[in-house]
Chain A
Amino acid sequence: MDGRVMAMSEIEFSLNDAFARSPLGLYVHVPFCASTCDFCAFYQTTPTRSGVEGYLNAVRQELELVRLRKPVDTVFWGGGTPGLLAPEDLRTLGDTVLGACGQRPAEWTIELAPASVTDARLAVLKELGVTRVSLGVQSFSHALLDALGRQHTREQVLKAYARVRDAGFASVNLDLMFALPGQDLAAWELDLKTAIDLAPDHLSTYCLTFEEDTKLWIKLSKGQVKLDPEHEARLYERTWDILDGAGYSQYEVSNFARPGHACAHNLNTWRMHEWVGIGPSAAGQHDCLRGANTADLDKWMEGIARGERMTDDRVRLTSGLLVEDAMVFGLRMNVGVDLQALKTRFPAAGWADLDRTLTRLSEQGLVERTEAVVKLSRRGRLLADSVGSELVGVLSEA
């Protein structure tokens, strides 16, 4: 018995060692939305005054429950629609978060729906120290926006973008979606061109995913829309070529940035560093644990009041699991995975098994590897999930 306890603490000790120098992120989920988009599977609820107040209180309590061993490097407010909070609520939330950070975060992102962008809100955010604004544009086409159930128009998007730019944030991202029902290659190219003309610092282009329990999923299962992987693959490749030509270099399957504008918060999660998730449905990975909060505002608040958090999908981290995930998520990045650095962090993992799998994938032309680095080939990038499924279980079972 003693031996097992010892062994466990030894693992934790070595993992803590692996995380000692790694950056820390803070994700805050703001669960409020005015309406539900047809494609969205993220947790959200309609805001009420008592709901918002309860939420702000619980965020403060949850941050007190978390033992942060080191200062926070990056903050990300996602949702939901964080921008739906009133300016004074944004300030309350911001002050709470800042208080927990221990330092001014180097990168602080907020997701905003174009319809919610006002000068008053932007002023608060700027004052708080938000550095990065991500606008959920999805498309510039009226017909396609309508088909997605989005609550904004092309004009609103352009106006919101201008306001954000005027406010002088260091980095601005536009979220776009492609392979939308009814969108052909030309329509997508037009959306891309419109976005490029606005000259944002960062672009996220997401191939439409049919998430379970969304309106689009229902349409798919009823046969009202159809999947066309060949069409999707063509749009992917076209996107890569167009954005590369426009000076946006791809750094992940769906993410492109001008030099110096890659999202540090996301890069850190993909590299299997540490981040804390605050708010309903928020997931985190720190203190040798991975897990998520319950995706229900009331239940989350009740749990926090009892001192409980990260109740769902709770997993104790192991070197094997972390190396596998660092591979699966790391390979999605264009720089690939720095095997040397990973080996230094997790020397105990079953590297020989991993090596055999990588050699096979390399022979199949799906990954390219040098002594130190392994990355996906262009074809491998379109098959990242297939590659990933070859990698899971290689180490964590050992």
Chain B
Amino acid sequence: MDVSLTRNFCIIAHVDHGKTTLSDRLLEYTNTVTQRVLTAQHLDSMDLEKERGITIKSHPVTMVYPAKDGNLYKINLMDTPGHVDFAYEVSRSLAACEGAVLLIDAAQGVEAQTVANAHLATAQGLKIIPVINKIDLPSANLELCMKQLEDILTIPAEEAILASGKSGIGIQDILEAVVARIPPPRWSHHPSTRALVFDSLYDSYRGVITYARVFSGSVKAGDQMLLMSNNQKSEIKEVGVFTPKMTKTATLDAGDVGYVISNIKDTTDIKIGDTLTLARNPASEMLPGYKEVRPMVFCGLYPLESSDYEKLKAALGRLRLNDAAFLYSSESSLALGFGFRCGFLGLLHMEIIQERIRREHDVEIISTYPSVVYKVKAHGADEIEVDNPVNLPDPGTIEYICEPTIKASIHIPNESMGDILALIMEKRGMCDHTDTLDANRVMLSCVLPLNEILVDFNDRLKSVTHGYGSMDYELGDYVQSDLVKMDILINGDPVDAFSSIVHREKAEGKGRVLCEKLAEIIPPQMFKVAIQAAIGGKIIARDNVKEMRKDVTAKCYGGDISRKRKLLDKQKEGKKKMKMIGKVNIPPDTFIQILKN
């Protein structure tokens, strides 16, 4: 097939704007998948993805479409991850396309993520086809969507296609637009073979499967491939395309999107954004845009039962196989025993991994307070990166600490302005400017410390805007900040799992809340137990665990000795299940309850 008859595009949208349903309709319309085979939402195959309505792993699909111009087109649809945590993966998926369908929910209008994605797509040089989806909803406001398209995204409203994935309206129009408006594959005349690696998958039978978009040349089984980021060579064993299931082909040619199976054993060797070329005539220059992905958020993960350590280790290993962005290494905590320090792209990524450990690998885990990566300089030492409060150098020796920030765009209804500004202030943020989106909505551009949005920012945003607010962000600069390590002491002993790095001005308030909650969650003890928050040696907040008042059996006679012993043994077993910290028995779910909030 001629390159001119190939089109590569993706669909970008805000969460819940109907991307997956629309994708399914396209597959159905082109008979790629019949209605019968189509599970409710075909492309999101993980349970978690379905539940959360988001796409975590990208699944490309090759369709064949007989266009009105009489030609048979090969159309590759890239499904992009829909969350800011996976922004780099999104950018690589976008880079594998020449065009993007920008989906806007007719009832919701343009949201923060829509804008961010549209900017990303434009930055990759993609042709954008605006589609207003869900037009058959009673609450659809087409006029507003059109206006927003022009005002916010500067896309002519007449380019918009009206559609409904649910009812199948506008599907053919979209396919026609893909063929007519999106240019054929670019860079196809490069003298060497070049393919963009945009994802990889580990299959226990076939090993590492690399997802790639070929820009120039071709690859086939038997070729020696070369990965340009690390100069690793290996023999290609099979190539093919997704229809959507993996279908073996003789070659992958310029413009094609498909998979490559080689004898690479470890997914960590496949870096997203890398350029795959051939060893016999290697390209001299990589495709643009490659970056090393680095985790932004860290936390400790510990098995609830220490006997599950090996099980957890195996689970992390398996998850890592399919997720090169997820990092882990072993660590130990005085409070929690042996576990792992884990790095994630962001909070959602962290939540998803934790949830998968619990569900798919059946290991109950305790997670410590999440931390960002700080840059710390101590006197007479080089600047180091600290992702665990425990590793912070002695406060007396610290010259400075820098923390990562984000540049956020927050879309809110006008009436929430005051509340949001207060929230941003509370979170140590700065609002640079505000843009009016329409009569009812504004967009705030602000800079916030990443550690302030780790835990509850998004929930708070949703809550003060009654669900109408949305946020998107990209990483900003590191800035120097007055940060301190806050310890929590139980009965005088510091509990490392509860340590956190906080801004000095917020330490007291945060310390008080933590102490109060711990005092509430820890069951009454046999003796007085103090919970304290401290910076260095200085106590900044304290509370007391409730003292047990009465625990005595009234009647104990000869006949009761065995029975009584059984009761006491049971009580003792119960205590054994708890974590002994500073002579205090703490139920394991204390950590979950505290760290959850």
Contact = CB atoms under 8 A, between A and B. Distances in A.
Interface of A: 25, 27, 29, 78, 206-209, 229-230, 232-233, 236, 253-254, 266, 269-270, 275, 277, 281-285, 290-292, 313, 315, 325, 328-329, 332, 360, 364-366, 381-393
A183 to B, nearest CB: 14
Given A360-B583, A386-B548, A389-B575, A283 B554 contact: no
Interface stretch (B141-149, B437-445, B559-567): B559-567
B549 interface: yes
Contacts of B558: 25, 27, 266, 269, 275, 277, 283-285
Contact of B572 (A206, A232, A392): A392
Contacts, number: 111
> Taking chain A's interface residues, is the majority helix, strand, or loop, or is none over half, making it mixed?
mixed
Given A25-B558, A383-B552, A385-B553, 20 more contacts: A229-B549, A230-B549, A232-B550, A277-B559, A281-B559, A283-B559, A284-B558, A285-B561, A313-B562, A328-B564, A328-B568, A329-B556, A365-B527, A382-B551, A384-B551, A385-B571, A389-B568, A389-B569, A389-B571, A390-B572
B568 A392 contact: yes
A366 B526 contact: yes
20 contacts: A78-B557, A206-B554, A209-B553, A229-B549, A232-B550, A233-B550, A277-B559, A283-B558, A283-B562, A328-B564, A328-B565, A329-B564, A364-B526, A382-B552, A383-B526, A384-B553, A385-B553, A385-B568, A386-B551, A392-B568
Interface in B507-552: 526-527, 548-552
A253 B552 contact: yes
Nearest to B559: A283
A283 B565 CA distance: 14
A386 B526 contact: yes
Contacts of B549: 229-230, 233, 382
Nearest to B574: A389
Contact of A27 (B559, B568, B569, B583): B559
Interface of B: 526-527, 548-565, 567-569, 571-572, 575, 583
A325 B550 contact: no
B565 A325 contact: yes
A325 B558 CA distance: 11
Contacts of A360: 583
Contact of A384 (B552, B559, B562): B552
Contacts of A364: 526-527
Contacts of A281: 559
Contacts of A270: 556
A316 to B, nearest CB: 13
A266 B568 contact: no
> Which of B552, B555, B567, B583 has most chain A Cβ within 10 Å?
B552
Contacts of A229: 549-551
Contacts of B564: 328-329, 388
A325 B572 contact: no
Contacts of A284: 558
Contacts of B572: 389-390, 392-393
B551 A385 contact: yes
